[in-house]
Every structure is written in structure tokens, then in C-alpha cells.
Structure 1
Amino acid sequence: MAPKGRSAGCEGHDDPAALIPWLLAERAVSPLYQPIVDLSTGNIVGVEALARGPAGSPLEFPDALFSAAARAGMMPLLDQLCAARAMEIARDAGEGVPPLLFFNAEPAALNQPYTPDLLAVVLSERPYRAVLEFTERALADHPAALLNIAADVQWTGGALALDDVGADPLSLAFLPLIEPEMIKLDMHLLRDPYAPGTVATAAIVGAHAERTGAMVLAEGIESEQDVATARALGARWGQGWLFGRPGPLDALVGRPVDRHAQLRPPRPKLHLPDGTPFGIAAVRNHSRTGDQSMIDALTGYLLSTAAEAGSHAVVLGAYPDPAVGRAWLPRLASLADRVAFTGVVGPGPIAAAPHPVRMAVAPAGGPAATETVLAVVGPHTAAALCARPDPDDGVDFVLTHEPDLVHAIARMLMRRLDTAAERPAPTVIDRWADPAAVAR
């Protein structure tokens, strides 16, 4: 760790970005930890790690630190270093750390080959459960990467937290796809608890938590009135200056800790379902045979369902026939400003940018290459149509409204939305099986 004060490594540089190589070489980040408490008891259930650079240096505070790393082209390495140091320090604190450690990391950074330091601490024995926090924008920007990383986290016994929920319609739209163990309500909800948007957000989050067993946490708690408001909005845990500002772990010594606090158990296969969309849909549903006119009519039904779901809907599709894409894209584009996210996978070339629909070129071959799929997902919406050519005549299809099946189908489509240049790195399972992949 870097010493307090202005380190010799920080001298003689006008641009803080020039300090980043030194900081990485010295591993000179010093995370602080903010307590998370059970609102009914006041006991600490976890801590959130917050990155800090060397004290007294131009890189001390996170805005300057990460801005400098971005300018230096070293953001992934810095992000991985911050995650590794947060987990190492908490691990070495032994019984002094609460049972849950929350930390932030950008999916784009974790989608790079893991550094040896990060991989070592991820796979080490730790006295806490790690909880990776991310925002809704992470899924929109890097869908395949985030789902791949989510599987890594679950496989290593960790958990997921969706941060700033309520700050953007995307957060509620993507809740069913991520199914995080923790939902963190954005602090602005506490400041305006009776606003229609706040009430709607709390209701949607509450319904999701009831269905999935997720824990709800309120951020920005500064007073006892905030505690009462947070509980009224459905939060059971809380975080904010009322319970403590960020500081070293030993600042929590002597405070009551709930050693039995826990989140839902990990589900390693949730984010990377096996099979194809049609195969998943047909598991619990009998496939039917129809003609193209029937498929077109059902497509119209799903697009109407998406329009009714509004700003909290995600619409995803895949098609092997360019003619289908030509028919779909204008209709999806007309939906793009009414729903949270639209994306399709099809044969190239795709429409020229800019286009309101996120598009990716479908990989050639494979069992899914002949399937036409359309899925609509929202807080209270689940519908998917999966079709493939019948060996004899017509089209075999399955229409399902079962949420678990629709969500699995949608995750498959989300993972295919990244272009070849953005394909996710091997999972931690792959890296563990092939240690040489760590250095690649």
C-alpha cells in the first residue's frame, strides 16, 4: 500500500494520468469501507468497499483516480486492482470483517483476462461472501460480458447487486434478466417518497423481491426519518452517513455485527443457460406447427405486448432469414423510444449506424442458427416466441409466457448481442482449468 502523504512516485508529474503506471506497479490503492446495516436491528450485515488512491496525492479521490486511468488507457487494470485490494484487505482482516463485502467493478474491465492477483483472491478462501455491484448501464453497454461475469461471481459463491435502481428505467427493465441477490434503491427515492415514480419503483422492486427472494437496500440514509421512509418503501437493509462514513475496517471494531446475515444462495447456471431458445421453450410446452402467416401474427402480438409494457420492457430477437430482419427492424425501431432496450441478432450485413436497435451479426452454424426468436421481458411481462423450420412442411413453434423460460431465452439472446470484437473473455471456470489463460 502507498504511504500516507505525497509519495515519491507521485512527484514531478503535471498530468495525474502519468502516475497510473507507478500506482499499478506499487498496487497503491487503499479502499475504505462503509457499513451496511439491518434497518430493524441496526446491526452491521456488510460493508461496501470504496476505492481511494494514495492519500494526499492527485489520485486520492475516485473521480480523479478513474479519470486518470481512462486517459492513460489503463482503466481495466485499475478496476481489477481496486477489486483485488478490497477483497485482500477484507480477507486478511479475518473475523473482523462482516459476512458480506460489496465492491464495484466495470464489466468491461472484468471482461479482460484476470490479473494473477485478482484471480488468486477470487479463488481463495475468504471469511465473507463477495457481492459485485453494477448499474443498469453495464448490461446495456456490455450484455454478454456482464452475464458472463455474473456466472463467474455465482460459480465462486458470490452474489450480485444492482445499484441505483430507480434512477433509470433500464434498472427495472433488466431486473428479471439479472435476478440480483441485492437491489439497491437509488437515494433520490428517499427524498421524494410519495412521487408516482417512487411508488411505482418500490412496487415493482417489491414484487420482484417477493418472487425471487432478493434483498432490498436503501441508499443515502442520513436520518431516522430516512430509516422509516426506507422501510415503508420495502427496504430491509440500509446504507448512509447515519450508520457511518467510509473508513478503515478497524473503525467498525466494537459495533454489533449480524454474523448470520445472508443473501440468497448462488445459482451458477442461471446466467449461462444451456441449449437453444427453442429447446428451452419446448421443455415445458408442446411445440405446434403453423405457417408463416401464423408466425407473423404472433410476432405482431408480441410487439403489441412490448408497446403496452412501455418504458420498462426489453425486446430481444434473433433471425436467420434476412427477409425477417427487413420486416422486423422498422417495427423494432418504432418501439425503441417507447421501451427500455431493443436488440436483435441476425445475418450480416446489419443496418448502418446509428440505429435505435442494438444489432449484432449472428455466428454461423450451431443448433440455434436456424431458429427465429422474439422475447419480451418486463417487470410484469414475459413472452417468447421460438420457431424453426419443420422437417416436412411449415414451421414448428412454441409460444411461452412462463417467466423462468422467457428469462432464460432472453439471457441467451443478450449474450449473442456482443460483436466478435466484444466477445467475453473465458469464464473463471475456464481460467481455473487453464492457468495459462490468466496471463493471456
Structure 2
Amino acid sequence: MPAPHAPAPAPALTVGEVLAGRLVRPLFQPIVDLSTRTVVGLEALARGPAGTDLEFPDRLFGAARAAGRLGELDMLCSERALEVAVAAPNPPPLLFVNAESGVLDQPLSPRLVELLRNGFPFRQILEFTERALPAVPGSLLRVAGIVHRWGNGLALDDVGADPMSLAFLPLVEPEVIKLDMSIVRNPDAPATRATCEVVRDQARRTGAILVAEGIETEEDFGTARELGAHWGQGWLFGRPVPIEQAGDRFDVDAAGVLPKARPGFHQPAGTPFSIAAGHGPVVTADPGAVAVAMARLRDTVAADAASVVVTSQPLAGTGVDASPARWAEGAGSLIVLDDPIPGEFAAVVLGPGHGYAVCIQSSGTTELVALDHLPTVATIARVLLNRHR
């Protein structure tokens, strides 16, 4: 009996050939309303040429990263997803497109700008992963501003995989919060309960929609609803397929369920002190008041290893010793501005569901505002991060 033939090796292909030939294939997976099981949108997932060694995303993106062309590939994936969805006979009401965290600082491609200017028959939702948050926060806010300027929306993906993602929720304030599949797999874990409490509070405050990922069984479906998810995604509802196979019946009102775009939200006007002064009492920054405020910063950081700290350099000439080395030790992420704010010092601590800020201004007299109102603290953090490169 002849020996069976070994499968033919996958044809070799370079990332350069994929880019030159625009050979990325978008597949689409449904996102459904858990109350009605109607499809509210599709998520675009990139694939390389079928049957090649770069077909699947791990190899495709790994090869692009190794070749120093990750930004080009990420932009091409977005372009192809939008092109295919725009050309579909029955486009979805919402199209979710992923953004690669490491290349958010690149400019938009001419083709992507053209697509945005022409408009879409759907609302685009750009998905950030939690990896983008501490890596390139300034660029993330810049891109978020562009997304809202064109009337589209934002999603924060994989929430719960890392506790630090919860600290960034009020900073980004996405229209969609996607719960990592580990949440559905471990509904009774203390970390799951803590995550869902923070996320539900955020959703109540902002109107964000919660999406549970990784729903593969009816049991997962029931768990997702018990956890408070509004929408869901996973193999129970459909695997990634070409758009013509992704369904032809959509909930046409789905886009209207999400909060509207807020142009300028991610680039707030004013300085940290002026914003803080509008929401908290202004006091003279004598040594005692400064010491109390800095001690609370230090205690807030020490109480939560998932905290995110954003701070400017210490304010010269005021006698205020606010070096991060003295109070920010142990923070999950420390971001120090390389573009100081003239005449001001500001420090923000964001943790899961809470925040604290200290702002000091020196103009004749030295004044201080300290506050823990989370939306205001997040606004101050956005002002700071828009100065961070």
C-alpha cells in the first residue's frame, strides 16, 4: 500500500508582497443583542492570502513586526475592512475595526482619509486593546479625537484581562466596553466580580454598551447576561466568515443605541489647574496643604497596584518637592510629561473606578486644588496626556 502523501507546504510569501498586492482578506464575525439575538454589527478580522504561510493573523502580524512594516499592515487591514463593508449589498449598522497598539502614532494613510471623507453607510467603531493604553496614550487620544470628529465611536477591548485597563476606562470613555473572554469563563472569581462592578458603574455613568466576548455555549450566553452584558460575540453566534456569509438581517437601530460622538472630548481645553479650580476648592499651597495632598497621592498609589499615574515635572521655584520618586513608587504605570506646563504642577492617579488629582499653580501666590471627582480627574489626565509624546 503506497504511503500517504504529506500535505504540501504552504506557499512562501513575504509581507512586502502582501502589502504591494493589498492581499489582506477581511473576515467578519457577528455581534448580537443578547436580549433579542439580532445582529447589531460585525467585527472585521484580518487574514492573509488563503493557503499561504501568512494566512493567519499571528504569523502575518509577526512577520510585519519583524520586517518593520507593522504600521503599513495595520493601515491596510483597516482600509480593506472598510472597503469590503462599504461595497457590501447590505452593510451592517456597526462595523468594529481593530487598531494595533504599537503604531497608533503613525499618520492616517491617504486611502483611509479618502474613505473617511466619503462617509460610510454604517458607524465605524475603532477598537483599542488595553496594550495601547500605557504604551502610547498621547497617540491614542489623538486617534480617538479623529474618530469622534468623523462621527464614529470607540471600543476598549479585552477589559478585565489586565486590571490596569479598568484604570484607563474613564480616560478613554469608550462607547463600547468589551469584556475579555476570561470574564465569561470565570464568573464567580473575585477578579470577575470586581471588574464587572467597575464596568457596570462606568456604563451607567456614560451610557456605554457592554459586550461579552468568547460566548461559545448556551451556558456562556446565560453567564454573559447575568454579568450585565448587553451584547455578545463568539462562536455560538457565528465564526469569522466573508461578509456575504455574515448574515443579511441586522438591527438597523443598533447604531442609535450607542452614545453620540463628542468631537473635542479627548482634547479638552484649559490647563489642569483651571479645570480643577472649576470643580474643587482653591487653597493657598502652604507647606502643610501640599504635604497633605502629596501624602494622599502616595497612599492612593500604594493602595492599588493597578493604578496609573500621570504627572508633570515638579514646579520649580515654589519649594514644592513633588518628584514622582517620592510618591509614585509601586504604580502600575507611570507617565511623566516631557512637555511641562508653564507655571503649573499636576499629578493624577487613576485606579479601577476611582481617581485623585493634585494641581498647583504659581502666579504671584501659589495655589492648590485637590479633588477626587472621577470625571474631572480623567479630564485633567487627558489634558496632560495630550502634551505627552
Normalising by the residue count of structure 2, what TM-score does the alignment of the two structures yield? 0.91
2:251 counterpart of 1:280: no
1:40 is matched with 35
Decide which of 334, 343, 350 is 1:342's aligned counterpart: 334
- 396-405 or 319-328: which moved more? 319-328
* CA distance 1:253–1:290, change in 2 (3 Å): closer
Q: CA deviation at 1:321?
A: 3.5
1:153 is matched with 147
Decide which of 287, 293, 306 is 1:292's aligned counterpart: 287
Work out the number of aligned pairs and report it. Answer: 378
2:323 is matched with 328
What is the one-letter code of the residue matched to 2:339? A
Q: C-alpha separation between the residues in 1 aligned to 2:106 and 2:353?
A: 35
* 1:413-439 Cα distance to aligned partner (Å, 9 max, x none): 223333xxxxxxxxxxxxxxxxxxxxx
* CA distance 1:404–1:318, change in 2 (3 Å): same
What is the one-letter code of the residue matched to 1:260? D
2:299 is matched with 304
Q: C-alpha separation between the residues in 2 aligned to 1:150 and 1:168?
A: 21
Decide which of 369, 380, 388 is 1:398's aligned counterpart: 369
Q: CA deviation at 1:325?
A: 8.8
Q: C-alpha separation between the residues in 1 aligned to 2:315 and 2:214?
A: 50
Contact 1:319–1:371 (CA<8 Å) still a contact in 2? Answer: no
* 1:312-351 Cα distance to aligned partner (Å, 9 max, x none): 4222221343697975333345333xxx322223xxxxxx
* CA distance 1:253–1:137, change in 2 (3 Å): closer
Q: C-alpha separation between the residues in 2 aligned to 1:320 and 1:294?
A: 16
What is the one-letter code of the residue matched to 1:341? S
Structure 2 unaligned blocks of 5 or more: 1-7
What is the one-letter code of the residue matched to 2:375? D
Q: C-alpha separation between the residues in 2 aligned to 1:401 and 1:199?
A: 23
**SS across alignment from 1:417:** coil
2:382 is matched with 411
Contact 1:52–1:60 (CA<8 Å) still a contact in 2? Answer: yes
Q: CA deviation at 1:73?
A: 1.1
Contact 1:287–1:397 (CA<8 Å) still a contact in 2? Answer: yes
Contact 2:314–2:322 (CA<8 Å) still a contact in 1? Answer: no
**SS across alignment from 1:369:** coil
- 369-378 or 75-84: which moved more? 369-378
Percent identity, aligned pairs only, is: 47
Q: C-alpha separation between the residues in 1 aligned to 2:320 and 2:44?
A: 45
* 1:198-253 Cα distance to aligned partner (Å, 9 max, x none): 11111111111111111001011111111110000110100000100000111134
What is the one-letter code of the residue matched to 2:342? A
* CA distance 1:106–1:210, change in 2 (3 Å): same
2:195 is matched with 201
Q: CA deviation at 1:375?
A: 1.5
1:257 is matched with 250
Decide which of 143, 148, 170 is 2:164's aligned counterpart: 170
**SS across alignment from 1:334:** coil
Q: C-alpha separation between the residues in 1 aligned to 2:121 and 2:369?
A: 46
Q: C-alpha separation between the residues in 2 aligned to 1:409 and 1:102?
A: 29
Q: C-alpha separation between the residues in 2 aligned to 1:332 and 1:248?
A: 52
Q: CA deviation at 1:385?
A: 1.5
* 1:121-151 Cα distance to aligned partner (Å, 9 max, x none): 1222211111111111101011111111111
* 1:268-316 Cα distance to aligned partner (Å, 9 max, x none): 21111111101111224452223234212211122223333x1342222
Contact 1:316–1:374 (CA<8 Å) still a contact in 2? Answer: yes
Q: C-alpha separation between the residues in 1 aligned to 2:314 and 2:339?
A: 8
Q: CA deviation at 1:197?
A: 0.9
Matches within 5 A, 1:196-275: 196-254=190-248, 256-262=249-255, 263-275=258-270
What is the one-letter code of the residue matched to 1:380? G
- 67-76 or 325-334: which moved more? 325-334
Structure 1 unaligned blocks of 5 or more: 1-5, 346-360, 419-440
* 1:391-423 Cα distance to aligned partner (Å, 9 max, x none): 1x4x112222332221110112223333xxxxx
Normalising by the residue count of structure 1, what TM-score does the alignment of the two structures yield? 0.81
1:356 is matched with none
2:366 counterpart of 1:371: no
Q: CA deviation at 1:387?
A: 0.8
* CA distance 1:297–1:110, change in 2 (3 Å): closer
Contact 2:295–2:327 (CA<8 Å) still a contact in 1? Answer: no
More helix by share: 1
Contact 2:348–2:380 (CA<8 Å) still a contact in 1? Answer: yes
Decide which of 135, 160, 173 is 1:141's aligned counterpart: 135
**SS across alignment from 1:31:** strand
Contact 2:147–2:153 (CA<8 Å) still a contact in 1? Answer: yes
2:57 counterpart of 1:86: no
Contact 2:104–2:136 (CA<8 Å) still a contact in 1? Answer: no
Q: CA deviation at 1:55?
A: 1.1
Q: C-alpha separation between the residues in 1 aligned to 2:353 and 2:126?
A: 26
